[in-house]
Structures are given as C-alpha cells and as structure tokens.
C-alpha cells in the first residue's frame, strides 16, 4: 500500500456511474416488481452499500477509510438500468474506488436477479451488457481543522 501517514485528512467526494443493457421486457419486469428473486432495485442498492463498505477487502491495496456518506440511485432508460453511487469521506485518500466498487456490485446484482429473463435458447446472454463504469466526478476540500 502507498504510505499516506503524512497526508492531512480532508473532505472527499466521488461519484461513479455505470449501466446494464437489458431487454425491454426485463426492464418492465423490474419496474413492475415481477422478477422472481424479488425487488431488484432494493437488492442492488443494498449490494452497492455493502460493496462500498467492503472495498478494501475486495481491492487489496485500497486503504480502509471512514465513509461519512453514501448515496445510491438508479435511473431507467428504455433498454438500460443506470446505477449512480456517490461516496463521501473525511480522510487521507480518495473515495473513487469505493464509488466504482459500489456501481459494479449494483450492476452485478441486477444481472444476477434478472438473468433468467435474459437467457437465450442456448443459455447465453447476447443482449445483456454492463457498460461504461466510470468516475463522473471527484472532489476534495480543505484540511479538517481539529
């Protein structure tokens, strides 16, 4: 790990997003609550929250940091579910890895819950694609005064 001992804690915020492309009928099943495994968005939100908190366990060289805020939102498009995760901290290193990890976990949980609706006759997923997981904003503020 990189030594951050000498760095001063400051306010940090990062927002990441990504989407999963699905069949129109799958999007409708999610919206109408007709997915066999249950509430897709609630489960994906909880998965994102857990993933953000567990980021240092999943990414070995990532520092454990104090998470001071976490927001998970979803947007529906005609053929996509978009996940947006914002993480805040008052610490010595950034929170973009936590935001990215949250988005990835949310999208993986969506896929898991709807995969039976997405399979073709051979058991494959020709229309299902996770897309463009990226940091859309990263900010840091002034050092925290004791």
pLDDT at residue 123, as a whole number: 95
Which tokens is 14 given?
A: 């990062």
72 close to 102: Cβ distance less than 8 angstroms? yes
Whether pTM exceeds 0.85: yes
Domains and CATH numbers, the chain: 10-143 (3.30.70.640)
- Residue 58's contacts (CB-CB under 8 Å, 6 or more residues apart) are 51, 101
Write down the residue that tokens 């290193």 correspond to: 93
For the chain, the average pLDDT equals 95
Is the pLDDT assigned to residue 122 strictly greater than 70? yes
103 close to 70: Cβ distance less than 8 angstroms? no
Write down the residue that tokens 């990835």 correspond to: 104
Is the pLDDT assigned to residue 142 strictly greater than 90? no
Among 39, 54, 112, 120, the active-site one is 112
Decide if 3 is catalytic: no
């Amino acid at each position: 790990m990189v030594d951050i001992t000498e760095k001063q804690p400051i306010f940090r915020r990062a927002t990441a997003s990504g989407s999963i492309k699905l069949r129109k009928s799958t999007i409708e099943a999610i919206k109408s609550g007709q997915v066999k495994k249950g509430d897709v968005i609630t489960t994906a939100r909880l998965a994102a929250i857990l993933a953000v908190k567990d980021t240092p366990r999943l990414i070995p060289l990532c520092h454990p940091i104090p998470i001071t805020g976490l927001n998970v939102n979803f947007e529906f498009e005609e053929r996509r579910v978009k996940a947006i995760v914002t993480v805040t901290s008052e610490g010595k290193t950034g929170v973009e890895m936590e935001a990215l990890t949250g988005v990835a976990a949310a999208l993986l949980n969506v896929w898991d819950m709807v995969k039976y609706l997405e399979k073709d006759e051979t058991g494959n997923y020709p229309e299902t694609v996770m897309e463009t997981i990226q940091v859309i904003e990263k900010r840091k503020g002034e050092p925290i005064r004791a």
